[in-house]
A and B are shown apart, each in its own frame.
Chain A
Amino acid sequence: MSESIILSRLLSHKQDEPFPTQLNVELTHRCNLRCSHCYLEYNAGRDELTADEWVEVMQQCLEMGIMFIAFTGGEAFLRPDTLSIAGRAKELGLFFHFQSNGTCIDRDVADELKRLNPTMVELTIMGDTPKLHDGITGSPGSFEKALAAASMLLERSIRVKLKTTVISGNWKSVQAMRRLAEGMGAAFQPDPLVMPGVFGGEEPVSCRMNDEEFQQFALSEGWDQPLGEEAAAAIAELDSPEKHLICAAARYRFTVTPSGEVIPCVLWRVPCGNIREQSLREIWEGEPMAGLRKTTVKDMPDCRGCKLLSDCVRCPGLAYMESGDSLLKSEENCRMSRIISQLKAENRP
């Protein structure tokens, strides 16, 4: 029997060393909504990679043993060629999912998505009612379209996840959004991390929950509860101060922006090269990406020895946005960790 090309690609990675498994593909930064908390700025779509350039990037992914693509934006479905790019990804044998606001997914798009066989479609909702959602997105009718998209995809047996960014304006509705998602048969994921505007805009930060709101939200999510014995033991075994604060970005995942810039994560926007000038592999293996991959908590002057470390979900991208240095603390992560740690202390018998 002939040797499996896919297996040999997957097994070519060095043991015990991080290797890339997923590329986030920001197809465009254009968007048809104007969410108040969004970290991107409206962009007219200048200098976007063409479909052929994206196919070339995906071919390079395969050569690197990367099997997963996340198509995201902006709003990915504003590009008229998004479905055909995904079609090429399928022909190449890549698995992919989409992140979208759902407003461009009509019956025809849903049918085509069924044929394309994505692993999942993640749709953003910002509330459980049209008034709340449309108020935040600045676009009347966007809630109905997002929910209609979710229903059409679920009817076609495509996995759907409804995601929300939890902000001051919608935290009270998180449980209602969860019920809405679960009632439809979709997964649900709330995320309280609100990034500052990439281009310096202050509006996103002003949308964040204040301390009291975050406290209430954390309580409603049960984040004050101690972990079950089994989970705690598993984490204790895996965890070490060195490992705790290390995320997948630059280690297992990375991102290409609409104009071909390579960055560690959609939320960690350190420029690492451009695929119009270098290959994906050269950028992955070169500096600064390789250096970012090697950092441990020992290199983080604020975080090593921090008493809140075990309650912290530190995002290096947030630290980078706040101070220009990915290795420093993030004030926002510190704030959240302080509140969670306090809640846990109050809950302790």
Chain B
Amino acid sequence: MAELNDDTVVKHAENAVFRKTGSEIVLLTPEEGTLHVLNDVSGRIWELCTGPASIESIVDKITAEYEVERERAASDTRDTISRFMDLGLVTTA
């Protein structure tokens, strides 16, 4: 898993393939032909990764928009972005 700190700046990978229909976001990893249907929060984190954006700024927005404790938002955001990075869909800017 990728190591992320507050200052890490991330963005969508140049070749990331995804779709947004209504409020739903679906990511594709073409190499395996796998679809990843995102839930509401992951979908918002994905949008915020359009970037370039720092992890800190994304955590700020998630904390405010979902009215959750910052610590919880920070750990969820990092986990989600690490997963996007492992799939090759987000890179550091």
Contact = CB atoms under 8 A, between A and B. Distances in A.
Contact of B15 (A1, A7, A91, A159): A159
Instruction: Classify the interface of chain B: helix, strand, loop or mixed.
Output: strand
Interface in A144-172: 157-159
Contact of A93 (B17, B21, B39, B40): B21
B28 interface: yes
A1 B28 contact: no
Contacts of A94: 19
B37 A159 contact: no
A92 B22 CA distance: 9
A67 interface: yes
A104 interface: no
A36 interface: no
B28 A4 contact: no
B24 interface: yes
A158 B37 CA distance: 22
B61 to A, nearest CB: 18
A34 interface: no
B22 A5 contact: yes
Interface residues of A, number: 21
Interface in A1-19: 1-2, 4-7, 10
Contact of B37 (A6, A90, A120): A6
Contact of A117 (B17, B23, B35, B37): B17
B67 interface: no
Contacts of B22: 5
Given A4-B24, A5-B24, A6-B26, A95 B37 contact: no
A4 B37 contact: yes
Size bracket, chain B contacts: 10 to 19
Contacts of B37: 4, 6-7, 10
A152 to B, nearest CB: 14
Contact of B24 (A91, A93, A118, A157): A93
Nearest to B40: A1
Contacts, number: 45
Interface string B12-43: 00110111111110101010000101011000
Interface in B31-73: 35, 37, 39-40
Contacts of A10: 35, 37
Contact of B21 (A2, A6, A118, A158): A6
A151 to B, nearest CB: 15
A119 interface: yes
Contacts of B14: 157
Nearest to A62: B21
Residue with the greatest number of chain B CB neighbours at <10 A, chosen from A5, A91, A92, A95? A95
A192 to B, nearest CB: 24
Contact of A6 (B17, B18, B24, B30): B24
A93 B15 contact: no
Nearest to A5: B24
13 contacts: A2-B23, A4-B24, A4-B37, A4-B39, A5-B24, A67-B26, A90-B19, A93-B19, A93-B20, A94-B19, A157-B14, A157-B15, A159-B30
Interface of A: 1-2, 4-7, 10, 67, 90-95, 117-120, 157-159
- Shortest 8 CB-CB contacts between residues of A and residues of B: A93-B21, A157-B14, A93-B19, A157-B15, A119-B30, A7-B37, A119-B17, A1-B40
Given A2-B40, A5-B21, A5-B22, 9 more contacts: A4-B24, A90-B19, A91-B21, A95-B17, A117-B17, A117-B18, A117-B19, A119-B17, A159-B15
